[in-house]
Amino acid sequence: MSRQFQLTVVIPNLNRAHSLIRAALSVRDDSADIEIVVVDDCSDSDLSAEYDRLRDMDVRVFRQDVRQGGCAARNRGVREGTGTHVSFLDSDDVWMAGRHDRVRRFYAAPGTARTVLVSGALLHVNGEIRKPHQPAWRPGRSLVEYVYRDMGRFQTSMLNLPVEIVRECPWNEDLRVNQDTDLGMRMDRAGIGFHIDPEPGVIKEESIRPGRITTGRETADLSHAWYRRESKDWSPAARSGYHLQDRVWRLADSGRRREAFIALARSLGPPVSPRETARRALSMVAGPRLYARLRGGYRKNVQLPGDVDAVQQAASRTWHDLDARAQAVCAGARDGAGQGPDPQTTIAETR
């Protein structure tokens, strides 16, 4: 007899307090029935006060003894969770209302036991909510073709799946970058199917800020090394798409402009999106500040199709509301710090 549906949401965390609280609040607002598992990847910061507040919200908190990276934290969360199905959420992203019910209804249908449900996403970029293009899934299309040729989004916080699948195909703990695409590729090779949910289920934080592990010279080189290992059987269009969507911005963000322009030229053989190529070229020539002003002026004077709709407006209100509530929780946690048990004991999971 099959078990009753139970969803576990796994949130890895490293040194984040405010955004982690915001992420957990967003999940808990959607349903009290969701099991939330936070795995602390051996943070340098003392987050014991914030973790105590999370436990008050029935969040289970675990701590890695040594830092092992986000993939290891996600695998730990899967092992510790008790759900029949698991969703992933990065600690700076926001879960959207209604996602729990959509996941439950999808997996109640027959024939979905070997399928990954990919939630739709909105983007939070420097205070603005944006709606990215998400192409439909074409039957017979490989995951790598969908991501790099079709420019489809397949990111950690969008993934929902039966727990047996991620136990069969766990996160690759040796990777620091390209973790989600690598996972999807291995699932694809294992015969796992994918379904794209057109409804937004997450707001992804994509504001440019220093210190993100996805930027910097080292991660640009690690990503390219992964590409060279994995791309031997990719189509020319998928290889072009990798350079356009991955290589170019990693090099540009780490200050390697000359290499970024070479990668941009590499993305033209064959071109997969002339518009995106032109946008990235303009952003590199103008620089981030001037490009942001140009883009803002263009959007102000030209109403783009579907520029701001009711969903985006509601998402913006949700983001700001959660942000304010998370700030209040963190302030209360800090005010009450030092009055409870020893931080080294409170950071361990309380069953």
Residues 183-195: tens digit of each pLDDT: 999 999 999 999 9
How many domains does the chain contain in total? 2
Residue type, 158: M
Q: What is the pLDDT of residues 22-76, one digit of tens each?
A: 999 999 999 999 999 999 999 999 999 999 999 999 999 999 999 999 999 999 9
150 and 31 in one domain? Answer: yes
Q: What is the pLDDT of residues 284-334, one digit of tens each?
A: 998 877 777 777 676 666 555 545 689 999 999 999 999 999 999 999 998
Say if residues 277 and 268 touch (Cβ distance below 8 Å).
yes
Backbone angles phi, psi at 109, to 5 degrees: -75, 150
143 and 117 in one domain? Answer: yes
SS3 324: helix
194 and 79 in one domain? Answer: yes
Q: Range of 179's domain?
A: 7-207+310-346
pLDDT, mean over the chain? 91
**Structure tokens belonging to residue 294:** 């140009």
258 and 149 in one domain? Answer: no
169 within a domain of the structure (yes/no):
yes
259 and 181 in one domain? Answer: no
196 within a domain of the structure (yes/no):
yes
317 and 287 in one domain? Answer: no
Q: Taking each helix axis as running N to C, give the angle between helix 48-56 and helix 18-30, from 0 to 180 degrees, rounded to the nearest 10.
A: 10
The predicted model scores a pTM of 0.91
Residues 62 and 39: their CA atoms lie apart, in Å, by 5
SS3 203: strand
Task: Provide the CATH number for the domain around residue 127.
Answer: 3.90.550.10
Q: How far is CA 350 from the centre of its chain?
A: 27
Say if residues 144 and 238 touch (Cβ distance below 8 Å).
yes
Report how far apart, in Å, the C-alpha atoms of 330 and of each of 23, 270, 309, 325, 333 are.
13, 50, 32, 9, 5
